[in-house]
A = this chain, B = another copy of it.
């Protein structure tokens, strides 16, 4: 058989300092074709329940998607997964950039990291050869510096480097991984897991080309050309190319769902200083891209003014603009850029970091914490300088930063009183900067996501609200039939959510970016199908792709059930059930009764027990994963 994958998985036992290779069979790989699917499978296979997320028994998976490295737009993503130190649940986060494609070109589908090194090490991979190297001299160094030293040691300037900075070394529970300094596995604290293992970096260089392993390289190459042309003709992707995600800020403010003042409201009076036009004028210095991607949505910023912001660490995405901007009531874009740059420099997740700071600001204003805890900072909404300083404190675990580094949920429990009510988190993970009160389907996704609040699980309701829109039309081949308003939470919306969740999950398995396929962007359903066919020679259908996504989600869910999570953990923070205080949706709350009903319906649609949320045997059988039934019982 000829196929688009090697099946090779590198096992790294850090305790013993030993490496070995195993291969996954093609028929198994077809069930778990990379990314989050392969990661969830390997986690369940290699890790028992109840391990300490920051102990040697946690298992860190780095898994490429089936299509990662294919030379067409958005096929760049790889997954980092482990038991999350932030949530105690299934942890997973994708990143684009260049590292995943490079790993694919070195011939590896995934890396499974177990154990804990006695002293810091890094892993070096050059095609078939892999070795652990001493990293004691790299520990404590910033990513830019560490990257230069590693490239120098390996004598190879083109080595791609995935690594952790100070946040990961200091076990900040929402620490990220970075590759090429600008691309991040941000969520669920995978950087802390890597830090706990004393693994500073994974340097990779591969000499194969993806087209060399694809079954039908010509079709892949043709798709690449077709998609590159289409970007500018497609309004959503052209917007992404032009503005990147920071283009969203002003529109969400107008719609009344720009999270502001720790989700008190959805409209920020200082938004003009944060909108794209300001970004472009004040801080933008370049547009950048991931491997082979024509969308080029990444921004690079430079500031030499009130703050010094290095261009080496990219630029703030929308999430950081809203998180450090409106949600902390800061209208100074330079401060936002600096806070974001520090997150990237220290490998902290910008969403969790900014949200933790907004939480701390609210606690400060309610005098649940004071200058004694903040090292004298007046950590109030709108205090840009205090905010920037607080990022530093989290990374270094100074003062209140040491508590916030444990994540908002834990910090709130320690602070007590009203603090848990101020903590905008689900399953321990801080909310992204999209207010579910205006997008109720997204709220369902926040609640059920196995990783805690996640804005990438399915869709944002406006995408499927207009039957004439490109995104709605693009979703029709998936079985989407009826356009539904953003605040509709009927059974139909629930079914739509379940369908598109499977699609989105599949994307994260095969290695496509959220900004690639329809309904979010410009790659048509049949093009995704064709790409998988061309890569592998497998005669896949849309239904099989959806089932791949569903299978991955069911494995992640079982991971959580095994760790003791249940329906009670699939919820929304109380504040969302209260009305927005101002803006276009002033007075609008998330419908609490509808939420409970929709959740029950969603479990029913998914084939899960309505209380334990355990998938039924019938569902697992239908997904070909009956083995997983035994893991949580």
- Using CB atoms and an 8 Å cutoff, list the residues of chain A in contact with chain B: 1, 24-28, 30-31, 41, 45, 537-541, 543-544, 547, 617-618, 621-627, 629-630, 633
Distance, CA A541 to CA B629, complexed state (A): 11
> Inside 8 A of A540's CB, which chain B residues have their CB?
626
> Inside 8 A of A543's CB, which chain B residues have their CB?
617-618, 621
Beta-carbon contact of B30 and A626 below 8 Å: yes
Closest to A548 in B: B626
Beta-carbon contact of A617 and B538 below 8 Å: no
A621: which of B547, B627, B633 is its contact (CB, 8 Å)? B547
> Inside 8 A of A627's CB, which chain B residues have their CB?
26-27, 30, 538
What is the minimal beta-carbon distance from A267 to any residue of chain B, in angstroms? 47
Beta-carbon contact of B544 and A27 below 8 Å: no
> Inside 8 A of A541's CB, which chain B residues have their CB?
617
Closest to A538 in B: B630
Closest to A41 in B: B27
Beta-carbon contact of A539 and B629 below 8 Å: yes
> Inside 8 A of A538's CB, which chain B residues have their CB?
627, 630
A537: which of B45, B618, B622, B630 is its contact (CB, 8 Å)? B630
> Inside 8 A of A621's CB, which chain B residues have their CB?
543-544, 547, 622, 624
What is the minimal beta-carbon distance from A9 to any residue of chain B, in angstroms? 11
- Nearest first, the 7 A-B pairs at minimum CB distance are A624-B624, A539-B630, A30-B627, A27-B627, A28-B28, A544-B626, A538-B630
Distance, CA A25 to CA B45, complexed state (A): 10
Beta-carbon contact of B625 and A622 below 8 Å: no
Beta-carbon contact of A625 and B28 below 8 Å: no
Distance, CA A624 to CA B538, complexed state (A): 15
Beta-carbon contact of A539 and B623 below 8 Å: no
The 16 listed contacts between A and B (C-beta, < 8 Å) are: A1-B45, A25-B28, A25-B45, A26-B45, A27-B41, A30-B626, A538-B630, A539-B629, A539-B630, A539-B633, A543-B617, A543-B621, A544-B626, A547-B621, A547-B626, A621-B624
Distance, CA A538 to CA B31, complexed state (A): 20
> Inside 8 A of A626's CB, which chain B residues have their CB?
30, 540, 544, 547
> Inside 8 A of A27's CB, which chain B residues have their CB?
28, 41, 45, 625, 627
Closest to A629 in B: B539
> Inside 8 A of A537's CB, which chain B residues have their CB?
630
What is the minimal beta-carbon distance from A311 to any residue of chain B, in angstroms? 46
> Inside 8 A of A624's CB, which chain B residues have their CB?
31, 621, 623-625
What is the minimal beta-carbon distance from A551 to any residue of chain B, in angstroms? 9
> Inside 8 A of A41's CB, which chain B residues have their CB?
27
> Inside 8 A of A618's CB, which chain B residues have their CB?
543
> Inside 8 A of A28's CB, which chain B residues have their CB?
25, 27-28
> Inside 8 A of A539's CB, which chain B residues have their CB?
629-630, 633
Distance, CA A622 to CA B633, complexed state (A): 23
Distance, CA A163 to CA B549, complexed state (A): 48
> Inside 8 A of A45's CB, which chain B residues have their CB?
1, 25-27
Distance, CA A1 to CA B26, complexed state (A): 22
Distance, CA A539 to CA B558, complexed state (A): 15
What is the minimal beta-carbon distance from A46 to any residue of chain B, in angstroms? 9
Distance, CA A544 to CA B616, complexed state (A): 13
Q: A27-B28, A28-B28, A544-B626 are in contact. List 8 more A-B contacts (CB 8 A).
A: A1-B45, A25-B28, A27-B625, A30-B627, A31-B624, A539-B629, A547-B621, A622-B622
Closest to A29 in B: B627
> Inside 8 A of A625's CB, which chain B residues have their CB?
27, 624
What is the minimal beta-carbon distance from A451 to any residue of chain B, in angstroms? 23
Distance, CA A295 to CA B74, complexed state (A): 64
> Inside 8 A of A622's CB, which chain B residues have their CB?
621-622
Closest to A45 in B: B27
Closest to A44 in B: B27
Closest to A31 in B: B624
> Inside 8 A of A544's CB, which chain B residues have their CB?
617, 621, 626
Distance, CA A312 to CA B233, complexed state (A): 82
What is the minimal beta-carbon distance from A104 to any residue of chain B, in angstroms? 21
> Inside 8 A of A31's CB, which chain B residues have their CB?
624
Closest to A551 in B: B624
Distance, CA A335 to CA B564, complexed state (A): 70
What is the minimal beta-carbon distance from A618 to any residue of chain B, in angstroms? 8
What is the minimal beta-carbon distance from A11 to any residue of chain B, in angstroms? 14
Distance, CA A537 to CA B629, complexed state (A): 12
**Max chain B Cβ within 10 angstroms of own Cβ: one of A26, A541, A621:** A621
